[in-house]
């Protein structure tokens, strides 16, 4: 994933209109790496999302492993939200993931006010799944 959460924050601050921000979120989703069809399995589906969302987790080694996520959705705007979540969490240690306040980041971007309740619930489901995987990774290495 090329966009960092810092770059996304900076880009959002340059966009005044929400229509432009939505377009940018869609562009972020379009820039996600290709998600393999073989990973579109029930175990990788994120429950609680209205759109279909898939998420895979790759765990590094060590006592506080780095987790790398890959994701996709069948909806353009949700795919962009997946990209934002990956920028926020992927490539970080499990303990850092557990400390990260995703809601504060979404609030800073203004997304908390501009998402439908269904999309906001789906986003919370993604965060829950990512944090669950981080907790599991720490338990495995303990």
- Residue 72 catalytic? no
Query: What 3 state SS string does 8-28 have?
Result: HHHHHHHCCCHHHHHHHHHHH
- The residue annotated as part of the active site, out of 8, 28, 49, 55, is 49
- 98: exposed, middle or buried (C-beta count within 10 Å: 0-12, 13-18, 19+)? middle
Nearest alpha-carbon partner for 11 in 2, 19, 20? 20
Q: Which amino acids are annotated catalytic?
A: 49
């Amino acid at each position: 994933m090329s966009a960092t959460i810092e770059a996304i924050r900076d880009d959002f601050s340059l966009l005044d209109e929400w229509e432009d921000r939505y377009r940018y979120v869609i562009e972020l989703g379009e820039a996600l790496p290709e998600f393999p069809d073989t990973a579109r399995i029930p175990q990788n589906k994120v429950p609680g999302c209205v759109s279909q969302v898939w998420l895979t987790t790759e765990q590094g080694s060590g006592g506080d492993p780095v987790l790398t996520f890959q994701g996709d959705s069948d909806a353009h705007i949700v795919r962009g939200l997946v990209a934002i979540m990956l920028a926020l969490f992927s490539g970080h240690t499990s303990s850092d993931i557990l400390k990260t306040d995703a809601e504060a980041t979404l609030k800073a971007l203004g997304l908390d006010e501009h998402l439908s309740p269904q999309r906001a619930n789906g986003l919370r489901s993604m965060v829950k799944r990512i944090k669950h995987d981080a907790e599991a990774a720490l338990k495995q290495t303990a």
